[in-house]
Amino acid sequence: MNKWKLIQYIQLFSLIVLGACTTEYEQHIPTDGTVSFKVNETYVNNESNRNLALPVQGVNSVILSIETEDGSQTIYERKSLPILGFGDELLIEDIHLSPGSYQLSAFYLTDSTGNIHYATPMEGSEYGDYLAAPLPIPFEVTDNESQNLNLEIISTAGKNPEPFGFESGMEGFRETFYFFISAVREMVDDFMDFIPAELTVSQGEHLLTRQLIGKLNKIVLPKTSENYDFSLTYGPFQPITKEISYDSLQKFEHLPLVIEMTKKRDDAFYIGGTFKGNITLSTQAALDSFGLKGYDIIEGNLTIGNTPDDSEDPILDLSPLATIDQVKNNLNIINNPELRSLEGLNYLRYISQELIVKNNSMLESFYGLTSLEKLPSLNLTNNPSIRDFNGFNHVAPTIASLHIENMEHFIGLEGEGFENAINFSHITILANPNLIDLSFPTQTQTIISNLYIANNPALISFGGGDGGFRFISNLELNNNENLENLEGLLQPKGEGVDDLIVLNCPKLTTLSPLFLAEQVGEIHLENNATLEDITAIASAKIIFSDITIINNPQLKSLNGFEGGKVLYYFVYKGEDPYPGYVWTPPVKITIKDNVSLVDYCALKDIKVTLANNLPFATEIKGNAFNPSFDNIRRGECKP
């Protein structure tokens, strides 16, 4: 064999062997770290306090430059990153850098045409003195870690580049000015009802389009001697177009330009105002005719649907209802076999009671409800074509009652538009065939009614973690055949559960980490094939209603009821702490058909107090051991 080939084979063999023996640490290759950005506006000189109340507006990109520690350029040289507005927050795309020392040398916020609206000044500049951390800002990136940079920015409106430390005539730095503007509905007695109209301003090559939000909107424009063409549009309202000069707009630097918009109307049919009473629209013709009247408010129930499957005029289009702003009772969208979209309800802002969307076989999404600001109760039942539950994101914090039933593609509340739903008081989740994990947003209010979760055949868990509820008044879990644990229902430092009903949950082995409130109502545990631990009951001290424990074949003891005076079976007598309340007497303690149950000693110190000689009974039978209640209290509580 050729000598040199032999040497090459030996070298190759050595590389393979050495490579195979290299440890995980020797093979470690540094991975990029992540850098995220957060911006806060700072104010200079005598800028109006009015600015302080406004979020950063009118920008959609960040331009930034990042250098290495020695001043060398990186791939982030005048790099543009998109900005996403989320409420009052600006979300800026994260970047990735290899580990090392860097400095941020430029940071501007621009509009769609590249005009700089906000910038971070340079160290040593006039405006840099207003900042805790002017540019350049040094930072470190470490292996596979996240670095957060908090940037202070200053508005460029009405300012030159030099006080920022930038060169005169800097690209993107135009001579600009700002003013405030708002759009309102037709005013009654000087009351202003603000609306999210779309504003378009054009002048020469400059074009600005903005969705107006809230009471104040700060608009920044390049200063020019030419007039600006303004256009305001908003759904059912008459569009407004006008020319406005720079001199006129300057007057609104401190007080807003308020533009009043009026509804579109067909004078032959238009009535407007409030419709009093309930109305049902079952055909497209009926809906079209009602829409021509241009009502703003329905003071009653509005029902869209109840259309027979064989109707020759099914409802297809809700756009004639675009003038409706409020429904003061229920909005029912029920039994519409051909309806695919809720577009047309885009300008509906308030539903005073309940929105019911039920039995609409072709309905595909809820995006037509994007203007809703108030929705106390939501019922979604049997809409099999709904795959996307987004559309309620903005109104979710106002929802107190939620009912989701037989929604084929409902797979949970997280990522489905309910992340901000933090004020639930009544929840029903019923018969949703593909629901596996039901994680609840952390609730800031107590549940004062029912949490009813039943007949969800694929449901396994509640997501775990520390989210969920502080207090659940009535918890019923029924016929969830694959439910394995209850983690994620209660906050660890919450107040517990009042009524507890767990039925037909064959894979549930323990009630923990649930715990009961100190004073509770009914406890009902039945037909739970593997339930063996009920110690979650131990936190209860006073029970006001029945105890029912039936057919839990793995349950061997009643541990959880122990504690002597820590746990009572109680109905008040004597001095009633709740005068005037009519107490329902306890009917019985029922413990039966638990074929492994032999230990009742946790019940031996229970105290039964009856008011006004009310009757009390126990039923203990069909268990592995069946002592009488008197025997249990004498300590004869296990074989």
Q: What are phi and psi of 222, to 5 degrees?
A: -70, 140
The β-bridge partners of 221 are: 177
- 153-159-163 Cα angle (round to 5): 70
Looking at residue 442, its pLDDT comes to 76
Q: What average pLDDT does this structure show over 270-293?
A: 94
Confidence of residue 475 (pLDDT cuts 50, 70, 90): very high
pLDDT tens-digit series, residues 285-313: 999 999 989 899 999 999 999 988 888 99
Long-range contact set of residues 512-516: C-beta below 8 Å, sequence gap at least 24? 512/486, 512/536, 513/486, 513/487, 514/475, 514/486, 514/489, 514/490, 515/490, 515/539, 516/540
Quick check: 13 pLDDT over 50?
Answer: no
Q: What average pLDDT does this structure show over 543-567?
A: 83
Quick check: 633 pLDDT over 70?
Answer: yes
Looking at residue 608, its pLDDT comes to 76
Looking at residue 149, its pLDDT comes to 92
Confidence of residue 55 (pLDDT cuts 50, 70, 90): confident
Q: Are 213 and 180 in contact (CB under 8 A)?
A: no
Q: Are 153 and 196 in contact (CB under 8 A)?
A: no
What's the pTM value of the predicted model, to 2 decimals? 0.70
Element housing 288 (H / E): helix 284-291
Quick check: 470 pLDDT over 90?
Answer: no
Highest mean pLDDT pick, 237-241, 594-598, 610-614: 594-598
Looking at residue 360, its pLDDT comes to 96
Confidence of residue 26 (pLDDT cuts 50, 70, 90): very low
278: CB partners within 8 A, 6+ apart: 300, 301, 302, 303, 329
**Structure tokens that stand for 593 in this block:** 């058909």
Q: What distance in Å separates the CA atoms of residue 161 and residue 220, rounded to the nearest whole number? A: 16
CA distances from 424 to 70, 282, 399, 428, 587 (A): 55, 32, 6, 11, 32
Q: What average pLDDT does this structure show over 505-525?
A: 93
Of residues 286 and 221, which shows the higher confidence score?
A: 286
List the CATH code of the domain at 33-164: 2.60.40.3540
CA distances from 29 to 20, 32, 143 (A): 16, 10, 9
pLDDT tens-digit series, residues 534-552: 999 998 888 877 899 999 9
Tell me what the pLDDT averaged over the chain comes to.
Answer: 85
Give the per-residue SS3 of 546-607.
Answer: CEEEECCCCCCECCCCCCHHHCEEECCCCCCCCCCCCCCCCCEEEEECCCCCCECHHHCCCE
Q: Given the structure tokens 């029970």, which residue do they identify? A: 543
Q: What are phi and psi of 204, to 5 degrees?
A: 65, -130
Q: For 86-124, give one letter per residue: b (16+ CB within 10 A) or e.
A: eeeebebeebebeeeebbbbbbbbbbeeebbbbbbbbee
Of residues 261 and 207, which shows the higher confidence score?
A: 261
The β-bridge partners of 116 are: 110
Q: Where are the domains of the chain?
A: 33-164, 176-260
Give the per-residue SS3 of 385-421.
Answer: CCCCCCCCCCCHHHCCEEEEECCCCCCCCCCCCCCCC
**Structure tokens that stand for 313 in this block:** 């005029």
CA distances from 48 to 51, 252, 362 (A): 6, 12, 52
Q: Given the structure tokens 């609409």, which residue do they identify? A: 360
Element housing 221 (H / E): strand 217-222
Q: Are 620 and 629 in contact (CB under 8 A)?
A: yes
Asked if 33-164 and 176-260 have one fold, the answer is yes
**Fold that domain 176-260 belongs to in CATH:** Immunoglobulin-like (2.60.40)
Looking at residue 50, its pLDDT comes to 47
In this structure, the chain runs to a length of 639
pLDDT tens-digit series, residues 377-433: 999 999 999 988 888 888 888 999 999 999 999 998 876 678 778 888 899 999 999
**Structure tokens that stand for 403 in this block:** 């009912």
C-alpha 571: how far from chain center: 41
Burial class (CB within 10 angstroms; exposed 0-12, middle 13-18, buried 19+) of 311: middle
Looking at residue 53, its pLDDT comes to 54
The helix/strand count (H/E) of the chain reads as 4, 38
Looking at residue 576, its pLDDT comes to 52
Q: What average pLDDT does this structure show over 105-115?
A: 89
Q: What distance in Å separates the CA atoms of residue 345 and residue 423, rounded to the nearest whole number? A: 25
Q: What single-letter DSSP state applies at residue 285?
A: H
Confidence of residue 5 (pLDDT cuts 50, 70, 90): very low
Q: What distance in Å separates the CA atoms of residue 547 and residue 500, rounded to the nearest whole number? A: 10
Confidence of residue 25 (pLDDT cuts 50, 70, 90): very low
Q: What average pLDDT does this structure show over 48-66?
A: 74
**Structure tokens that stand for 362 in this block:** 């072709």
Q: What distance in Å separates the CA atoms of residue 450 and residue 473, rounded to the nearest whole number? A: 6
Q: What average pLDDT does this structure show over 608-630?
A: 82
Q: What single-letter DSSP state applies at residue 169?
A: T
CA distances from 5 to 1, 2, 8, 11, 17 (A): 7, 5, 5, 10, 18
Stretch among 135-149, 355-369, 577-591 having the lowest mean pLDDT: 577-591
Looking at residue 186, its pLDDT comes to 79
Nearest to 292 by CA among 273, 278, 272: 272
Q: What percent of the chain has pLDDT over 70?
A: 86
Confidence of residue 12 (pLDDT cuts 50, 70, 90): very low
Looking at residue 27, its pLDDT comes to 42
